[in-house]
Amino acid sequence: MREIIFDTETTGLDPKSGDRLVEIGCIEMVNRVVTGNTFHAYFNPDRDMPAAAEAVHGLSIAFLSDKPRFHERAGEFLEFIGDSMLVAHNAGFDFGFINAELEMCGLEPVSKTRMIDTVALAKVRHPGAKLSLDALCTRYGIDRSHRTRHGALLDAELLAQVYVELTGGRQIGLSLVADNSETLAQPVAAPARERTFRPARPHAASEAELAAHAAFLETVKSPLWNE
């Protein structure tokens, strides 16, 4: 099973108001294991960079000014993701920006049926807990000491580890069922045991036992059963 874990950085919060995608980082996973294949790109947004956004990811217009526009690498991006499921933290946000950029290129949007949102997964797994990527890394003991600012590829790397934990850890890929059902062990009936019937033991007291009991009663002073 191939999945793409990804993250984006943008100029703001709303593509409908003119905000643009400036970075995307994608990591390939197969059967919950990172393969080492990645796609990473910076984009020139052809607009200014608000100070609040730059404070989050550190990407200035000066840095982005010589980077390609999204449409120049859109084909490469689409080829990398293929038809795989796409995993992101608060995925609706990232899908919104990607599809806005694809629309400006005259390309088909990525279907939201391919979207896996790790925030939604975390809400089910840890109801009432903090759901930020930092909080989940702390919960699962994932080292993020090298993360001083947001970065699409770095955040995707951290999210890949979080996603594995949210979906059951490394054991999820193990199978204890044989591939061929004919090879499964069948229950074996225990051999029937031959039972030997013995006559019931006599329960009446012997003459000697009765005499011993009568002698004992003679020693009891003022027995209650005589009152």
Write down the pLDDT at residue 23.
Answer: 97
Write down the pLDDT at residue 216.
Answer: 78
Write down the pLDDT at residue 191.
Answer: 54
62 phi and psi, to 5 degrees? -60, -40
Cβ atoms of residues 104 and 19 within 8 Å: no
Write down the pLDDT at residue 195.
Answer: 65
Write down the pLDDT at residue 77.
Answer: 98
Q: Is the pTM of this model over 0.75?
A: no
CA 194 to chain centre: 55
Average pLDDT, 10 consecutive residues per value, the chain (227 residues)? 97 96 98 96 97 95 98 98 97 97 97 97 96 95 81 94 89 42 43 64 74 80 72
Q: Is 89 a catalytic residue?
A: no
Taking CA atoms, 217 is separated from 203, 207, 213, 225, 226, in Å, by 21, 16, 6, 11, 11
Write down the pLDDT at residue 188.
Answer: 44
Catalytic residue from among 40, 126, 146, 150: 150
Write down the pLDDT at residue 186.
Answer: 44
Write down the pLDDT at residue 171.
Answer: 53
